[in-house]
A = this chain, B = another copy of it.
Amino acid sequence: MSESARFPRPLQRTRLYEQVAEQITAWISEKGLKAGDRLPPERQLATSLGVSRATLSQALVALEVIGVVAVRHGDGTVLTDKPRVERITDAIRAHAERIPDVIEARDALETKIAALAAQRRTPEDLEHIDAALKAMEADIEGGGRGVQGDELFHRAVTEAAHSPLLEQMMTEISELIRETRIESLSQPDRPKTSLAGHQKIADAIASGDAEAAAAAMHGHVMLVSDVALLRD
């Protein structure tokens, strides 16, 4: 190889790994690959792309940083669905544990999300929300705290809003929210109260009442807020 000197350089100082990364993403969407699907082994991919393993590795690092794939030692390279956008999370955590900040951000995002969900939810969305509600209920009756159901519920509502940007932002702070969530649900009787709050939100969304949904969500987040603030 290496007859590239022939071309007058398309103005771009494109690094090889960038081209490789683009080809890979193109290949992914072309093949319609989804989260969990595997990329070919590095050695094979490298030869089929006509680059060295080192360069391919750089491309994979780039894709990993962006959050497109997850490279697993000894296993393979797997497509990621929920990109690891932990940058913000890390930044915040590194600075200081600021629970109130998280509450504020959550309130801002989820209130709007609830309102949008009330307007846009499809029957499928309502099913998901209901399923999450039932899961949480079952867990609590069994003595659990309903943490997983709680998370499912909020994710279902977020998806029902059908707003990619807001969903992305929720994903970014989801990890921070999780911490406050666990704390909140650890309070006695809190799970039941929380469940009731969820039901109220779900009802408003189901009935298409955006204002009521927003209000219910706001109240719910504030409830969690109280608890979180107690620990200071």
Contacts and interface: CB of A to CB of B under 8 A. Distances in A.
Interface of A: 13, 15, 17, 54, 57-58, 61-62, 65-67, 71-73, 85, 87-88, 91-92, 95, 98, 101-102, 104-105, 107-109, 111-113, 116, 163-166, 168-169, 172-173
A92 B57 contact: no
A217 B108 CA distance: 13
A166 B66 contact: no
Contacts of A13: 72-73
20 contacts: A13-B73, A15-B71, A54-B54, A58-B61, A61-B65, A62-B65, A65-B65, A65-B66, A67-B87, A88-B165, A88-B169, A92-B164, A95-B164, A98-B165, A101-B163, A101-B165, A101-B166, A107-B112, A108-B111, A108-B166
Nearest to A57: B58
Q: Interface majority SS on A: helix, strand, loop or mixed? A: helix
Contacts of A65: 61-62, 65-66
A67 B23 CA distance: 21
Nearest to A53: B54
Contact of A87 (B17, B72, B85, B163): B85
A14 to B, nearest CB: 11
A166 B104 contact: yes
A34 to B, nearest CB: 16
